[in-house]
Amino acid sequence: MFDPDAFEIVLRIVHAQLHKLPKELSLATMTQVAIIADDLQCSDPIAHFAQQWGSNNDFWSASNTWIDLSRKIFICSVFQLKDKFSWLTQAAIIHSLKKVSSYGIPVPQQILQTVDAIEEKRTILMKEQLKYLFTVEKELQDETLCWECRAQNFGFLKYNLLLHQLPASESSELWANITCQVLKEKMQKFKYATRTGCQYKSGLKHPSFKKQITEALKVSNAGLDPASFLNTAAAAK
């Protein structure tokens, strides 16, 4: 059973009764309109009005709840709002701790794939950040590298982890309650050795903890590619 208010809005668009359309819609009502548009496969004539209803910046502002974020991603998927889709999926990737729920929204399979992709990219992003973060721990056993640099890097790693209350090992279970964004913000505040270069001329390579963190901060945290997901959703209708 469709929401009656949302169904009336859809009917007015389909029957060109545009003068009777509301100027603004709440997120809840817009979600219901998207559900109907997706179910009846009539999103194209409604998409223009969806953009108008969402033209208020407050509508797309950062969500305080995950259910609101899920609704907005669903709306973007139905009405092919590419820029908003990329931005909102990025927010889900960097701020979520686990797979984002659909919260009972009757979304089709192709949009559920978006949810899976968000979780996959979140997991990959965290693993990449941790890989660079703990490189100096792995380098500790590498005899081709300067021992003094290895020891210093390891010390700064442990110091920064303790200073910023981060887990002491790379084990994924220990990072379950830390988002990619929180980790990035803490790495941006890391402290490093004040002197540059190594005073020991051993002829070996001199690894740098700071360089590893710099690489970690460069790992892409972009949202999902709209061309890969929105076009797929549209083609499946």
DSSP conformation letters of 124-166: HHHHHHHHHHTHHHHHTT-TTB-HHHHHHHHHHHHHHHHHTT-
80: alpha, beta or left? (left if phi > 0; alpha if psi -120 to 50): left
Q: Could you read off the pLDDT of 17-48 as tens digits, one per residue?
A: 988 899 889 999 999 999 999 999 999 999 99
Q: Could you read off the pLDDT of 152-169 as tens digits, one per residue?
A: 999 999 999 999 999 999
What integer is the mean pLDDT of 207-215? 95
DSSP character for 18? Answer: G
* pLDDT reading at 5 higher than 60: yes
User: Tokens in use for 82?
Assistant: 């590419």
Domain co-membership, 212 together with 170: yes
Cα–Cα nearest to 72, from 223, 228, 185? 223
* pLDDT reading at 106 higher than 80: no
The pLDDT, as a whole number, for residue 89 is 93
Q: What is the band of 231 on the pLDDT scale with cuts at 50, 70, 90?
A: low
Domain co-membership, 79 together with 140: no
Q: Could you read off the pLDDT of 128-138 as tens digits, one per residue?
A: 999 999 999 99
- Three-state DSSP string of 164-183: CCCCCCCCHHHHCCCCHHHH
Q: Could you read off the pLDDT of 45-94 as tens digits, one per residue?
A: 999 999 999 887 678 876 678 888 888 999 999 999 998 999 999 999 99
Domain co-membership, 163 together with 97: no
DSSP character for 80? Answer: T
Cα–Cα nearest to 76, from 90, 93, 88, 59? 88
Domain co-membership, 116 together with 135: no
Domain co-membership, 20 together with 102: yes
The pLDDT, as a whole number, for residue 115 is 85
What integer is the mean pLDDT of 105-131? 86
Number of Cα atoms under 13 Å in the Cβ half of residue 100: 34
Domain co-membership, 87 together with 49: yes
Tell me the residue range of the domain where 35 lies. 4-123+222-235
The pLDDT, as a whole number, for residue 229 is 81
CA distance 91 to 75: 15
The pLDDT, as a whole number, for residue 208 is 93
Q: Give the number of domains in the chain.
A: 2
| Three-class secondary structure of residue 205 per DSSP | strand
Domain co-membership, 188 together with 139: yes
Domain co-membership, 141 together with 101: no
User: Tokens in use for 29?
Assistant: 């009502």
Cα–Cα nearest to 101, from 93, 90, 112? 112
Counting residues of the chain whose pLDDT is more than 90, the rounded percentage is 65
The pLDDT, as a whole number, for residue 111 is 72
